Chain A
Amino acid sequence: MAQLIDYHAILPELILSGTIMLVLVVDVFLPARRKWFAMPLSLLGVVASLVAVLTLLGSHRTAFGGMFVVDNFAILFKIFFLTVAIVVLSISLRYFREGGFYQGEYYFLLLTSFLGCLLMPSSRDLLMLFIALELVSAPGFLMVAFRKGDPRSNEAGLKFFLIGVLSTAVMLYGMSLVYGLTGATRLTVIAERLAIVSGGRLTLAYAAILFVVAGFAFKVSAVPFQFWAPDTYEGAPVPVAAFLGAASSAAGFAGLLQLMFVAFLHQASFWAPIFAAVSIATMTVGNLLALQQRQLVRLLAYSGIAQAGYILLPFALVGKDAATDQRAFSAAVAYILIYAVMNLGAFSVAIAVSRRSPGLLFRDFAGLGKTAPLLAIGMATFMASLAGVPPTGGFWAKIIIFNAAINRGGIGPVLAVVMLVNSVMSIYYYFAVPRMMFFETPEDTSPLRSPALVTAVVAAASLAVLAAFVWPDWFARAPQFSTLVGR
């Protein structure tokens, strides 16, 4: 290793960090009515960072003595996170400009969170993982409580914070145990050393794994760490909820993938059944509670819990053979990617509708097919995709998981059946939204005007969801770029 720091490898993060500083400083000098300039500035930084990531395509670099790795897995997720960042910034502009929020601070916090997201898939070390995870979460606590005048937003922030801190503490304790057992923080080294642990120390290792997983389970809102999600989503500003649903949970999964498929792979026979149980519980709880929702953001929160259950399912398939692991890994990644697209789309429509009816109850969507046909068609596409109904990308995302599960044999087909039943159940509540939009007549028949950026996001996301159905190859294959497993 010629140099300690490979600056090219960390260039995207450097650019984003620079942007963060810049946004904070520039905000001070902007007059109140120009505060929104922070958004184009942030956007510029994110795009520059994305360009920097693209220059890294296909390379394999390490920095900081192997703590930080840029490989295909990392690049895939970085591109994904930066694209999500562009979307979240786009749908934030009007919302924060019109709502009378502190705009500079918001963009500062948002970008900081995304910096954590960028670090996450590159972190091959417990310490880095912890830093990345906290970098994602800590600004999130503040952003959730950004609607300061609304007690629900304060409650949301507090809940998110308390449960977040608790799970972080547990996770740190687990990490310290892992370090104590193996004397290492590097994931690959941990894997080697844990493989030869036995006896009472093995029991301790199992406990440590559970503790570490708990931290990430909070992030992805898996049962029993899901309680914060509905209240937090509902109380938070809608773009922040979109961020939590798409980027924050994806970051959690990215970290979880590295931990389980690299560091703890040899203990799969221990944790895979636990993931099976957690997956079943998460999807079932999410779906059952979602059935009773009458408010869109809460619905999306519960649906997010259910979807997290689906994404956790492939983890339960690990440990049979390398081919199965590879398939499970690909399935999880594919689902994370497509899920984020449809979820962001749904939140974007919610933002557009919230301009007229901030409550976002189901009945506020009545007749959207008439007042805003494009938004309504987009929303119907996202809901069908979340439910896994053709002609949408969500259909293939589910098929790929079924495929991996049934191929696994043993417990796999059982999990597939549970997921199938859950998917059917979910159709009922997902279709409640299109039903409102197309079957009911609106109270206010004047056309709903949607901000241009939001409309563009909705159109792009619907096209992406439909395109993913027609050419499933491109996203079914993307995860195979992964260099993480199957070595």
Chain B
Amino acid sequence: MSGWDRSAITIATFLPVAGAIVIAAMPREKDRLIRWLGVLFTGAALVVSIAIAIAFDYGGRGGLQFEVDTSWISAIGARYHVGIDGISLPLYVLTFLLSFLCAVYTVRYVPEPGRTKAFLGLMLLLETGMAGTFIAFDLLLFFVFWELVLVPMYFLIGIWGSANREYAAIKFFLYTVFGSVFMLLGFLGMYFRSDVSAAPGFQHSFDIVALQHFGAAGGFTHGFQVVVFGAIALGFAVKVPMWPFHTWLPDAHTEAPTIGSVLLAGVMLKMGTYGFIRVALPILPYGAHKYAPWIGLLAAIAIVYAALACLAQKDLKRLIAFSSVGHMGFVMLGIATLTQIGINAAIFGMVAHGVITGMLFFCVGSIYDRYHTRQIAEIGGGMMQNVPKLASIFAYVAIASLGLPGLAGFWGEVMALLAAFSPASGLNVALFRGFMVAGGVGTILTAGYFLWMLQRVNLGVLPDRWKEHHISDILAVEWVAWMPLLVGIVLLGVYPKLVFGTTSEAVHGLLSALGLGS
């Protein structure tokens, strides 16, 4: 194994931290330099991650690549075990892409009250935490990365957020921590019940791969699986967020600064769904079977509930936030089916949601920046006349989000519904078809609220009060920051193999380990 293979993902993951340290050392007055350093470091990390994606062996039977497994905390047998497979790769690259675009966006926009240095430093820290979650193959390492995102996000919301930011920040923090401590308990429980040794001198292991083999071989008792799956599912469910644990999300999203929302929706929510696929399902297959109908039920409720909630929203950003709950509902529905199609759909849905909703939050951020309001009624329509380019992009992304065929949003949703039609053996088919119907109703409602939103914001006559304001259309920096996402939406829509080609081998490997590989 070459040095590059051993160090590539470590370099990509920790480059942002190095960037944060460099930025922290810069004098505060060098504002422009700091902004460009942010672009430089996120860009470098992105380049490394793309290099990894190019060097990735797509035919490779779904095993781990770029793997590193060395001693870390010898006292409790935790190891620095990182690697990347087809499930991680799309999310990993997405993390770096969105972070880079956020850094580009920051060149122009630093939200009130300024303090660029701290802002970018925290964002870079956040990037490492998110990226690390997707490559960690040691439960403790996974948990560390998982928790690492909390503090930067807390400050991003709390310092640079809008009016009600403090409440939103602490609510986000407490909710997530509350879920994750139960997850931690579950991890420790799995550790002590595991009878495998990944490190010399230890009877137990935190190693996710070792635990997957152990779990697939029926190593954990049924009762244990039910309890522990419940505990770790709680942690993941808060993060996703699944209904009814979603209430932190509209507040956090609405109050967060634009790039906070972009990263929150684009990447952080996926940490939860990724956790289900990576940790909960393969290690605790019996627990997964027992909980699948309930997860499916909550997912179906989330889809319908979120759509209804969206119809009632008056705040543009809050509307997008609630739509995230619905989209993540589709992802969870895909996972709950425990099928090849469903989980592939889920991963596709995560990537698509990251690209689309990230872009939607960019749009809303730019709208707010021009209108200084997010209230739909105050904007009052006519954006097509006033800022035609921005309005067109907004419409395009909103339509992608409602799942129009040919754009990215389509595949994840339709395949999740398809999977719900014939869930894995042992699951109640009638029940899942019920979920499918609920999901179908949800898609119609989704189309409804998005189109209605466009009608109220984009169309109609420009109100008089905006006529004397000079409102500029899209700026160069926005074009640069957005173009990759705008292209990606089409690309994923017409060529879904971009993601499926990466994931299907890994998902197949994962499911066949569970005895569900049919």
Contact = CB atoms under 8 A, between A and B. Distances in A.
Given A391-B148, A402-B185, A427 B174 contact: yes
B170 A431 contact: yes
A416 interface: yes
Interface string B238-280: 0000000000000000000000000000000000000000000
Given A395-B147, A402-B185, A480 B75 contact: yes
Interface in B168-191: 169-170, 173-174, 177-178, 181-182, 184-185, 188-189, 191
Contact of B151 (A384, A407, A428, A480): A384
A416 B188 CA distance: 11
Interface in B54-88: 72-76
Interface stretch (B158-166, B343-351, B436-444): B158-166
A438 B158 contact: yes
B177 A439 contact: no
Given A389-B177, A476-B73, A402 B184 contact: yes
A472 B151 contact: no
A364 B92 CA distance: 43
B173 A431 contact: yes
Contacts, number: 80
Contacts of B192: 406-407, 409
Main secondary structure of the interface of A (DSSP, over half): helix
A436 to B, nearest CB: 10
B166 A435 contact: yes
B281 interface: no
A127 interface: no
B76 A476 contact: yes
Main secondary structure of the interface of B (DSSP, over half): helix
A390 interface: yes
B151 A391 contact: yes
Interface stretch (A94-102, A290-298, A417-425): A417-425
B150 interface: yes
A15 to B, nearest CB: 33
A473 B73 CA distance: 5
B181 A424 contact: yes
Contacts of B178: 424
A403 B76 contact: yes
Interface in A428-487: 428, 431, 434-435, 438-439, 472-473, 476-477, 480
Contacts of B147: 389-390, 395
B151 A406 contact: no
Contacts of A400: 76
B189 A413 contact: yes
A389 B154 CA distance: 12
A473 B181 CA distance: 22
A428 B174 contact: yes
Nearest to A334: B75
A439 B185 contact: no
A487 B285 CA distance: 42
A406 B185 contact: yes
B26 to A, nearest CB: 13
Nearest to B231: A417
A434 B148 CA distance: 17
Contacts of B189: 406, 413
Interface residues of B, number: 31
Contacts of A439: 158-159, 165-166
Contact of B181 (A384, A423, A435): A423
Contact of B177 (A413, A427, A435): A427
Contacts of A403: 76, 188
Contacts of A424: 174, 177-178, 181
B144 interface: yes
B148 A390 contact: yes
Contacts of B140: 399
Contacts of A395: 144, 147
Q: Which of B75, B159, B191 has the most CB of A within 10 A?
A: B75
B159 A438 contact: yes
Interface in A202-217: none
Contacts of B148: 390-391
Contacts of A407: 188, 192
A427 B173 contact: yes
A186 to B, nearest CB: 32
Contacts of B184: 399, 402, 420
B129 to A, nearest CB: 9
Contacts of B177: 389, 424, 427
Contacts of A427: 173-174, 177
B73 A417 contact: no
Nearest to A476: B75
A470 to B, nearest CB: 10
A143 to B, nearest CB: 36
A357 to B, nearest CB: 22
Nearest to A469: B144
B155 interface: yes
A435 B75 contact: no
B10 to A, nearest CB: 14
B245 to A, nearest CB: 14
Given A384-B151, A431-B154, 9 more contacts: A389-B177, A395-B147, A399-B76, A399-B140, A406-B185, A413-B189, A428-B170, A431-B170, A434-B155
Interface of B: 72-76, 140, 144, 147-148, 150-151, 154-155, 158-159, 165-166, 169-170, 173-174, 177-178, 181-182, 184-185, 188-189, 191-192
A-B pairs with lowest CB-CB distance, top 6: A476-B75, A420-B181, A406-B188, A390-B147, A477-B75, A424-B178
25 contacts: A389-B147, A390-B144, A390-B147, A390-B148, A391-B148, A400-B76, A413-B185, A413-B189, A416-B185, A416-B188, A417-B185, A420-B184, A423-B181, A428-B170, A428-B174, A431-B170, A435-B169, A438-B155, A439-B158, A439-B159, A439-B165, A439-B166, A473-B73, A473-B74, A476-B75
